[in-house]
Structure 1
Amino acid sequence: MATPLYYTSLAGFQHTVKQLLEKDADVNSQSEVYDNALYAASHEGHKEIVQQLLEKGINVNAL
């Protein structure tokens, strides 16, 4: 099941992603379509969100 962090990363809602990360959202939670928030954001070209997720310590090797 996708999380709010996944959907906001996919949609490019940078401010909301920041808020979720500040509230310790699980950056490594898995989803069905793009695997996780990092892949969703990168697929859609949301570079700022990708950077935020990387800074928060998302596992880049998780699939």
Structure 2
Amino acid sequence: MSGHERHQLSVDPIACRGHGLCAELLPEIVELDEWGYPIISETAVPRASRADARAAVAACPTLALRLRR
């Protein structure tokens, strides 16, 4: 996998239940709104944060978080 590939984090708003693990694991990319649901930065996931992004995706209890190229 090339380090120059663009990775984007997204959330399925239907599946998300607002547990907030993504914001705890990836605070530089994910904020929580006033109800505890994620607001994800529109920018690409930096290469240095990709392992953390994968961990956040794996930790999501409702499988609502995705990391796509």
Name the TM-score, length of structure 1 as normaliser: 0.31
Kindly indicate which of the two structures has a greater share of residues assigned to strand.
2
Higher RCO (C-alpha under 8 Å, 6+ residues apart): 2
Structure 1 or 2: larger helix share?
1
Tell me the TM-score normalised to structure 2 length.
Answer: 0.29
